[in-house]
Amino acid sequence: MPRVLYEKDGRIARVTLNRPDVLNAIDDDLPVELADCVAQANADAGVHVIILSGAGRAFCAGYDLAYYAEQDSGAGNAMTQDMPWDPMQDYAFMMRNTELFMSLWRSHRPVIAKVHGFAVAGGSDIALCADMIVMADDAEIGYMPIRVWGCPTTAMWVYRLGPERAKRMLFTGDKVKGKEAEAMGLVLKSVPPADLDAEVERLAERMAGVPVNQLMMQKLVVNQAIEAMGLKQTQMFATLFDGITRHSPEGLNFKHRAEAMGWKHAVRERDLGTFDWTQNRPINAPKG
């Protein structure tokens, strides 16, 4: 089954993340198929706008931790290497995904991300590479892995929020709902869930009435301003640091905890702050 679906609807290309049974979690193939769909839209002179959404109950819940965190390190699991690890091997894998997510940013067709349910962890990386995000009021966005085992490789938080609000999100790993995301300037708009489809359609139809070359020029002008701030260099550091977070003592302890207890248990401890990843024991547990 395709991880990402493509459909052309008049002047609108509809790209849909399609792993609904795991909340569209990212595996090795999803980023590749996403970039392929963006390329297909850009090769079609009749497409003016791309709407990016997720099938099922969420936009995207991040990387598939049932595979990447629960399974043993070694062959076939690119997220964690046996020690000693090769930082450049890790960087090559993660920068591949960063660049594939950034196909949305580089797309000559504007991209609207339609977010319902969750756009969290790696799913927020995908959403924040779009040109605009429209969220449901009850949807949540955030990057919880900063608490242990992750650094957002696309580094879009600071460019959308500025330094102080970006630090608030990246020092806490908090998730925020649509209304708060709109208030802080992270997303374009938040609407009641029942209105999400109609709101995105109105925006896409309005943009679709503009010639392709005009849309392309305006996007290039705005994007180059961000790129001139050092986006490429920031992503290089973020992608490298992402690998370090997973191979640090704390990151390896999280991985071992996920292997032993299951990734849902480890994630719950991470997000609640009930485990000391440095000492590798529950907080307030007696010292052995």
CA distance 247 to 223: 33
CA distances 233 to 31, 154, 224, 271, Å, are 21, 11, 14, 29
| Per-residue pLDDT of the chain in tens (288 residues, 90 and over written 9) | 999 999 999 999 999 999 999 999 999 999 999 999 999 999 999 999 999 999 999 999 999 998 887 776 554 566 778 888 899 999 999 999 999 999 999 999 999 999 999 999 999 999 999 999 999 999 999 999 999 999 999 999 999 999 999 999 999 999 999 999 999 999 999 999 999 999 999 999 999 999 999 999 999 999 999 999 999 999 999 999 999 999 999 999 999 999 999 999 999 999 999 999 999 999 986 554
Place of tokens 């359609």: 201
- Cis peptide leading into residue 110 (ω within 30°): no
Angle of CA points 70, 60, 250, to nearest 5°: 40
Q: 258 Cβ partners below 8 Å, 6+ apart? A: 65, 69, 70, 265, 266, 267
CA distance 26 to 96: 13
- Which tens digit of pLDDT belongs to each residue from 66-90? 888 777 655 456 677 888 889 999 9
CA distance 126 to 14: 15
- Which tens digit of pLDDT belongs to each residue from 147-206? 999 999 999 999 999 999 999 999 999 999 999 999 999 999 999 999 999 999 999 999
CA distances 156 to 90, 163, 202, Å, are 21, 11, 26
Question: Could you tell me if 239 and 95 are in contact, meaning their C-beta atoms sit under 8 angstroms apart?
Answer: yes
Q: Which of 89, 106, 93 is nearest to 34 (CA)?
A: 106
- The full set of domains in the chain, from first to last, is 4-282 (3.90.226.10)
